[in-house]
Amino acid sequence: MTPSTAGPRTVQLVESDDKERQALQQLLELAGLRVEGFASLSDRAPGSGECLLWSIDGPGPKLDEVLQETSKGTSVVLVARALPLAVVVRAVKAGVVDVLCKPLDMEELRRAVEQALARTETERLHRARLLELQQRLARLTIREQEVFQRLIHGQLNKQVGAELGITERTVKAHRASILRKVAVGSMAELVRIATTVECGCQRLVERTVTGENHTVRSIDESEDASAGATKVSG
């Protein structure tokens, strides 16, 4: 068991109604979860917590801040009495784990929270692995980075040497140094690491851009714009 799952896992509950927040907090605590309750999203630190459970009932709350949470590695579950289908689709596309309807079914809530916590753990492990690999590659000198980029794209030692104006023997020396610093035993492993870092960084960039681009209007505005549209309701 990893350190992050060794003790009670934390759910950050955002609910403006005091009675509903207290009742829901008690239910979650009975399920073995540690709960931090907040009356509004602004009361908590952005990007903190393992799971953000947010009730978006009320006068004109906006979803853009919640969608940005997904780009910071926090898993989000939304709760509401009624939402336009368009808002639900936007939220899920932006990375929200689930959208639940009030009155809440405890089994559905438990499943959504468990899924959110598992996703957060996976995301944190992924980011930690990505950071470790980036730190390994950061050990390379500028010249080693130049050799590294050419080697992982399939160039032979002779080709790398000709392009950089160095001897093939020097290329081999750089290659050996690169393998040692990155702590791998073969070029195949080196290519895998390079691919992992490239894909991982691209994924994080895409998630950040997705969060920034999914600025959603207030629920009231969305409901006005979606008059007559199908709603998700309890």
Q: What is the per-residue pLDDT for 2?
A: 40
Structure tokens at 179: 């393998």
Backbone angles phi, psi at 37, to 5 degrees: -100, 140
Structure tokens at 196: 């992992």
First-to-final CA distance of the chain:
37
The widest CA-to-CA distance across the chain, in whole angstroms, is 75
Q: What is the pTM of this model?
A: 0.67
Do the Cβ atoms of 164 and 156 come closer than 8 Å? no
Domains of the chain in start order, with CATH, are: 3-124+213-233 (3.40.50.2300), 131-206 (1.10.10.10)
Q: Please report which helix (H) or strand (E) contains residue 53, including its range.
A: strand 51-55
Q: What is the per-residue pLDDT for 225?
A: 41
Tell whether omega for the bond before 59 is within 30 degrees of 0, i.e. cis. Answer: no
pLDDT in tens, the chain (234 residues): 344 444 567 899 999 889 999 999 998 888 888 899 999 888 887 767 789 998 887 544 466 776 677 767 789 999 988 777 887 888 887 788 999 988 888 889 999 999 999 998 888 888 888 899 999 999 999 999 999 999 999 999 999 999 999 999 999 999 999 999 999 999 999 999 998 888 877 665 555 555 445 443 433 444 444 444 344 444
Q: Is 59 left (phi over 0), alpha (psi -120 to 50) or beta?
A: beta
Q: What is the per-residue pLDDT for 203?
A: 62
Contacts of 113 (CB under 8 A, 6+ apart): 11, 28, 31, 33, 51, 53, 77
